[in-house]
């Protein structure tokens, strides 16, 4: 039987959670929701399904030190830092090479590091079902999220005919992937019942991914050849760093959806039975904490007087108070404070562009 592996993608800047999130310690390294960093919570969910020795974490060079601190229970060689970010397709190609070096027939899950999932039991059941599906046939399994609103910020997957059941979970063939839709289109998707959100969770075997790379992304496949050669010679962990530094700058920046999934005809989808939230911006955090009678959500030493619907996070024993204001995001950190209307939460990236122009900006980014 092929071994099971998990590859957790722990990259990105988490810019929408500034000022708590910074380039060196972004969202997945923070307890945005819960008491542990999001990455630590992801590891806790995965360990009952995949042994620690078979869990890889792919991160960025600037975050490597902090990631290693969170992942202290994993083998050091299982934490790999990309020298530069190149989106998810190169990360998946690297993951396939890492897994194949351990087990040429290995089946592995690709999982984001920073999602909120409370029902770990259902998550683990669905993950085991996805592993069973990917072990039964040469398919690329996606885990889709059943939509509960006509969201326009997610990509969608259209389900086709039912394929098979695994662990009592139905798996469907995929008709097509759809990019982020307009509001009226999203409403139609929700009403049809045929669409699920693409949450970036995939399960497949190393041979299936390598065949897809050769067929649909030959340049990326060729670019990753030096990594496969190095791994075949036993160069894992830090011994792989010089190879990655040499090849990564030349790789094309592309998502695995564009590079492989949207071009393949062997993709299936397992609709998730667990709760899920990608907590993409500050307003989403409020869904996971109990508000006061006026709808205010606070963490740390914070209070609201004569105000409603505010989100106030305050750290390091600093008192942050809001008086007579509604629907604000207020986040205090030792060196930066954000005050913004909740309706402007998606504009934080624009604010960071302004901060980049300030003298000594690096310390705030």
**Mean pLDDT, each 10-residue run in order, the chain (365 residues):** 97 91 94 95 98 98 96 97 96 98 98 97 98 98 96 94 96 95 94 95 98 98 98 94 97 96 97 95 94 96 98 94 98 96 94 95 94
Burial 138-156 (b: 16+ CB within 10 A, else e): ebbbbbbbebeebbeebbb
- Give pLDDT, residue 41: 98
Q: Are 61 and 82 in contact (CB under 8 A)?
A: yes
Task: Count CB neighbours of 271 within 10 A.
Answer: 18
Tell me how far apart the alpha carbons of residues 315 and 334 are, in angstroms, rounded to a whole number.
Answer: 7
| Phi, psi angles (nearest 5°) of residue 178 | -125, 135
Q: 4-271, superfamily in CATH? A: Spore Coat Polysaccharide Biosynthesis Protein SpsA; Chain A (3.90.550.10)
Tell me how far apart the alpha carbons of residues 230 and 123 are, in angstroms, rounded to a whole number.
Answer: 35
Tell me how far apart the alpha carbons of residues 139 and 337 are, in angstroms, rounded to a whole number.
Answer: 48
Q: CA 269, 274, 280, 282: dihedral to nearest 10 degrees?
A: 170
- Please give the structure tokens belonging to residue 199: 């949450």
The residues, any chain, with a CB within 8 Å of residue 268's CB and separated by 6 or more, are 133, 139, 140, 141, 142, 163, 171, 172, 173, 174
- Give pLDDT, residue 262: 95
Q: Where in the chain is the domain with CATH 3.90.550.10?
A: 4-271
| Phi, psi angles (nearest 5°) of residue 82 | -75, 135
Among the listed residues 112, 111, 128, the one whose alpha carbon sits nearest the alpha carbon of residue 169: 128
């Amino acid at each position: 039987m092929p071994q099971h592996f998990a590859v957790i993608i722990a990259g990105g800047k988490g810019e929408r959670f500034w000022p708590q999130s910074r380039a060196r310690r972004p969202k997945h390294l923070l307890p945005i929701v819960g008491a542990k960093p999001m990455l630590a919570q992801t590891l806790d969910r995965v360990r009952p399904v995949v042994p620690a020795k078979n869990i890889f974490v792919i991160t960025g060079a600037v975050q490597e030190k902090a990631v290693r601190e969170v992942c202290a229970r994993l083998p050091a060689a299982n934490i790999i830092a990309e020298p530069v970010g190149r989106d998810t397709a190169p990360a998946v190609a690297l993951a396939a090479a890492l897994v194949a070096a351990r087990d040429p027939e290995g089946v592995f899950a690709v999982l984001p590091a920073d999602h909120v999932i409370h029902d770990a039991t259902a998550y683990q059941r669905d993950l085991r079902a996805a592993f069973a599906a990917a072990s039964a046939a040469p398919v690329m399994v996606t885990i889709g999220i059943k939509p509960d609103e006509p969201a326009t910020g997610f990509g969608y997957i259209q389900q086709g005919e039912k394929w098979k059941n695994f662990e009592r979970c139905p798996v469907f063939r995929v008709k097509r992937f759809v990019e982020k839709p307009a509001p009226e289109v999203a409403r139609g998707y929700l009403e049809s019942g045929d669409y699920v959100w693409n949450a970036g969770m995939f399960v497949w075997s190393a041979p299936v991914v390598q065949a897809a790379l050769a067929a649909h992304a030959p340049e990326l496949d060729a670019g990753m050849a030096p990594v496969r050669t190095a791994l075949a010679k036993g160069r894992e962990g830090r011994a792989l760093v010089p190879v990655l530094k040499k090849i990564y700058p030349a790789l094309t920046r592309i998502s695995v959806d564009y590079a492989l999934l949207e071009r393949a005809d062997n993709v299936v989808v397992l609709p998730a039975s667990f709760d899920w939230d990608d907590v993409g911006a500050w307003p989403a955090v409020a869904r996971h904490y109990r508000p006061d009678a006026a709808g205010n959500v606070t963490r740390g030493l914070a209070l609201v007087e004569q105000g409603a619907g505010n989100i106030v996070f305050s750290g390091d024993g600093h008192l942050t108070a809001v008086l007579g204001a509604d629907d604000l995001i207020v986040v205090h950190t030792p060196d930066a404070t954000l005050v913004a209307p909740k309706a402007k939460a998606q504009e934080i990236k624009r604010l960071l562009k302004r901060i980049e122009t300030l003298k000594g900006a690096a310390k705030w980014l």
